[in-house]
Amino acid sequence: MDNDFKGRVVMVTGGASGIGKANAMMAARRGAKVAVVDASEDSAHATVAELRAAGTEATAEVLDVRDDRAVEAAVERIEAALGPIDGLVASAGVSPPHPAATMPNENWAAAIDVNLTGMFYTLRAVGSRMVERRSGAIVAIASVDGFGGHAGRAHYSASKHGVIGLVKSLAIEWGRFGVRVNAIAPGVVGTPLFHRNIPEDHVRDVMVDRVPMQRLSTADDQAHPCLFLLSDGAAYVNGAVLAVDGGLTSGFFTRWNGADLGSKAMLERGLYAAPVPKG
Ligand SMILES: NC(=O)c1ccc[n+]([C@@H]2O[C@H](COP(=O)([O-])OP(=O)(O)OC[C@H]3O[C@@H](n4cnc5c(N)ncnc54)[C@H](O)[C@@H]3O)[C@@H](O)[C@H]2O)c1
């Protein structure tokens, strides 16, 4: 895998933290020139400083993905500085929880506008140029909340369902032009966003308890499949939504510990073993 992205330009939104930053650093280690796009000025510049210190050609763009003109202008500058964008990882996202019945309009709008509309602006700005060039690959970061609902996260879940619809539609529109559009659906990833929003006992007793691999994902666990989807090895993968969730969405009866008869108790008590027929 070393240097398989040599000479390529990879743009990462949300590239200053968590899953986005892991993608930026990993793409750089594999030889790419990297554009870090993020709303957080300090973290974006710090990430680019880290990339440059490691010998990577990198540039930072500080913007809010809800601002379509800013996104268009940034893509223009990135291509002028680094060259045509070959790969895009769109990771910018927010997840502020709120019960639906009392959710203020602003909370609803924040999740939909950043996670879905901002995603569209980003994919349109980069994808339209890729279509003209007849080449490129895009990975949108969706979520397992794009497969099912989540209490306290109606807005987030709706936005991620929307991202999956967006990705599949663009895959159909752009596939014939040699531009592939895919998504990953991360499960529970130990990033700043995750720890900011979710209490530790809920993480331990509910979330990790239902992950067959019995651990949180690292950001690198997510970056590896993203970069696979950007790579030539995925040349015929288009419109896919890859769950990167340790098996969380593989089935329904997966609880491991818990007070109920979780999977562990069921296995240890032999309750899944078929009774031996008598006689
Ligand atoms: N952490 C998880 O468990 C998890 C699970 C499933 C999906 N995801 C998704 O992965 C993506 C990345 O999440 P993360 O956990 O790395 O979060 P994070 O908070 O560590 O990183 C998100 C980055 O996006 C930037 N950002 C936020 N709003 C922005 C905006 N309007 N414009 C530009 N940049 C903006 C932030 O400044 C931050 O640097 C998100 O789309 C999130 O929904 C995360």
State yes or no: pLDDT of 205 exceeds 90.
no
Map out the domains of the chain as residue ranges. Answer: 9-268
Q: What is the per-residue pLDDT across 58-82, written as a single tens digit (0 to 9) for each?
A: 999 999 999 999 999 999 999 999 9
Query: Furthest-apart CA pair in the chain: how many Å?
Result: 80
- For residue 115, the model assigns a pLDDT of 98
Residue 89 in contact with ligand 1 by CB distance below 6 A:
no
For residue 193, the ligand 1 atom closest to its alpha carbon is 19
Q: How far is the CA of 16 from the centre of ligand 1 (A)?
A: 9
**Lowest mean pLDDT, pick from 23-27, 63-67, 68-72, 262-266:** 262-266
Q: What is the pTM of this model?
A: 0.94
- Catalytic, 156? Answer yes
Contact in structure between 12 and 35 (CB atoms under 8 Å): yes
User: Whose structure tokens read 């045509």?
Assistant: 84
pLDDT tens-place string over residues 143-199: 999 999 998 999 999 999 999 999 999 999 999 999 999 999 999 999 887 887 788
Higher pLDDT, 257 or 110: 110
User: Of 227, 108, 203, which is closest to residue 162 (Cα–Cα)?
Assistant: 108
d(CA 182, CA 124): 14
What is the assigned CATH class of domain 9-268? alpha beta
pLDDT in tens, 34-58: 999 999 999 999 999 999 999 999 9
Take residue 161 and report the two structure tokens written for it. 């369902």
